Amino acid sequence: PEAVFILSIESSCDDTAAAVMHNDKVLSNVVANQLIHQQYGGVVPELASRAHQQNIVPVIDAALQKAGVAKEQLNAIAFTQGPGLMGSLLVGTSFAKSLSLALDIPLIAVNHMHAHILAHFIDEEGFDKPEFPFLALTISGGHTQIVKVNGFFEMEIIGETTDDAVGEAFDKTAKILGLPYPGGPLVDKYAQSGNPKAFEFTKPKVPGLDFSFSGLKTQILYFIQKNVAQNPDFIAENINDICASIQHTIIKILMDKLKSAVAETGITQVAIGGGVSANSGIRSTLKEAEAKYGWKTFIPKFEYTTDNAAMIGIVGYQKYLHRKFNDKSVVSKARIEF
Ligand code: KG4
Ligand code: ZN
């Protein structure tokens, strides 16, 4: 196959990211996190777009420099078109358009959710690539979906959340426990030293392959309020067990639906993607499913779980091979057709 260098840009939420790909290999993958949101307990869209404006040039410069690739060597620019925060998306989209115009090279718009799934096709030593068709569970701060992936550009959502995303369930749990934003990684950390059976939470009853997490959040809130009323030190004394029990419940919800999806489709290759796929409990539970249910599972390298530009770059590469280019009139989309 032809050798191409692609610069990819991701700016859909609160991470400014750029990567340089050489075909399906990652030469550099740079992410600038925006710590400003921590003090507000969530992403503030206006602040996110301002930070992207400040970060985008240095992040892209760093990605090119780390890759040892001059911008004149680039064959295409890929960028996140959506879904995401409009003000954030605009920064990456406008930059990508301008650079493609200046360098006179193709522009490639990428769906962020496709990218979380197709990150599994990045060429990495020790990581197998799934074969089509496979099932993908995408779990992030904004999405929870089970997708039947028939090909690089043929995907079908067969289940999704009817309210909160899994990442929100983690982050809102953390907030109730007084932990800083984003709380997902902290819940994971405390859970590792806790007893997952210490407290019991009921799982929501949702038809088909869909999910619901808002009831669980309310249940956790009442559980904490009730116990703190009796013992003000309840959270501090039980943080590990609380986190382990909540995480256990979330994993059980996800695994039950995945098992149903496998039963319905007969597909036993299962991949996970998105920020929450960084969760150690989810990763180990999915790994265990290989021996337990005979699945073949695909767990992304840690750096390709939370938002990054390499995942945008791998989709860019596949689109490049199929000459799926966009003209300069392409626009960002906060919501985008899957
Ligand atoms: O994919 P992502 O970086 O951004 C979105 O597109 O939303 O996902 C971010 C989400 C946050 O909710 C964060 O708390 C969660 O992923 N997350 C985790 C872990 N690491 C990140 N949740 C649970 N356990 C983790 N280790
Ligand atoms: Zn994401």
Question: Measured between alpha carbons, how far is 237 from 258 in angstroms, rounded to an integer?
Answer: 34
Question: Measured between alpha carbons, how far is 35 from 282 in angstroms, rounded to an integer?
Answer: 26
Asked if residue 61 belongs to a domain, the reply is yes
Peptide bond into 133 cis (omega under 30): yes
One domain for residues 285 and 256: yes
| Average pLDDT score over residue span 290-301 | 97
| Strand 134-139, strand 144-151: pairing | antiparallel
Mean pLDDT of the chain: 96
One domain for residues 47 and 91: yes
Is-above-0.80 flag for pTM? yes
Distance between Cα 166 and ligand 1 center (Å): 9
One domain for residues 173 and 99: no
What dihedral angle (degrees, nearest 10) is formed by the CA atoms of 289, 290, 294, 296? 120
- Write down the residue that tokens 């409990």 correspond to: 281
In the structure encoding, which two tokens stand for residue 121, read together? 């096709």
Q: Are 199 and 149 in contact (CB under 8 A)?
A: no
Q: Are 304 and 116 in contact (CB under 8 A)?
A: no
pLDDT at 236: 97
One domain for residues 148 and 280: yes
Distance between Cα 185 and ligand 1 center (Å): 7
Asked if residue 337 belongs to a domain, the reply is no
**Domain total of the chain:** 2
One domain for residues 313 and 277: no
Asked if residue 338 belongs to a domain, the reply is no
Q: Which atom of ligand 1 is nearest to the CA of 280?
A: 26
Asked if residue 331 belongs to a domain, the reply is no
One domain for residues 114 and 191: no
The domain spanning residue 198 has which CATH number? Answer: 3.30.420.40
Residue 112 has pLDDT above 80, yes or no: yes
One domain for residues 135 and 52: no
Using alpha carbons, select from 205, 126, 128, 226 the residue that is nearest to residue 162: 205
One domain for residues 292 and 317: no
pLDDT at 291: 96
pLDDT at 338: 87
pLDDT at 64: 98
One domain for residues 133 and 275: yes
The predicted-structure confidence for 73-89, as pLDDT tens digits, reads as follows: 999 999 999 999 999 99
pLDDT at 219: 97
At 269 the three-state DSSP class reads strand
Q: Which atom of ligand 1 is nearest to the CA of 165?
A: 12
| Average pLDDT score over residue span 134-149 | 96
Ligand 1 atom 7 nearest Cα: 141
The predicted-structure confidence for 302-332, as pLDDT tens digits, reads as follows: 999 999 999 999 999 999 999 999 999 999 9
One domain for residues 211 and 92: no
CB-based neighbours (< 5 A) of ligand 2, an ion: 140, 307
Question: Which ligand sits nearest to residue 13's alpha carbon?
Answer: 1
One domain for residues 290 and 172: yes
One domain for residues 248 and 108: no
Residue 38 has pLDDT above 90, yes or no: no
pLDDT at 1: 65
Residue 195 has pLDDT above 90, yes or no: yes
pLDDT at 94: 98
Give the domain extent around 78: 5-119+305-321
What lines the ligand 1 site, CB under 6 Å? 13, 140-142, 167, 170-171, 182, 184-185, 188, 274-276, 278-279, 306-307
pLDDT at 2: 79
pLDDT at 36: 86
Asked if residue 285 belongs to a domain, the reply is yes
Asked if residue 211 belongs to a domain, the reply is yes
Q: Tell whether residue 266 is among the known ligand binding residues.
A: no
Share of the chain above pLDDT 70, in %: 100
pLDDT at 259: 98
DSSP 125: T
| Average pLDDT score over residue span 211-238 | 97
Question: Measured between alpha carbons, how far is 27 from 176 in angstroms, rounded to an integer?
Answer: 40
The predicted-structure confidence for 163-191, as pLDDT tens digits, reads as follows: 999 999 999 999 999 999 889 999 999 99
Q: Tell whether residue 138 is among the known ligand binding residues.
A: yes
Residue 333 has pLDDT above 70, yes or no: yes
Residue 229 has pLDDT above 80, yes or no: yes
Asked if residue 100 belongs to a domain, the reply is yes
Q: Tell whether residue 28 is among the known ligand binding residues.
A: no
pLDDT at 132: 98
Q: Are 235 and 177 in contact (CB under 8 A)?
A: yes
Residue 159 has pLDDT above 70, yes or no: yes
Asked if residue 12 belongs to a domain, the reply is yes
Using alpha carbons, select from 142, 141, 129, 136 the residue that is nearest to residue 154: 136
Residues near 71 by Cβ (< 8 Å), separated by ≥ 6? 7, 64, 99, 103
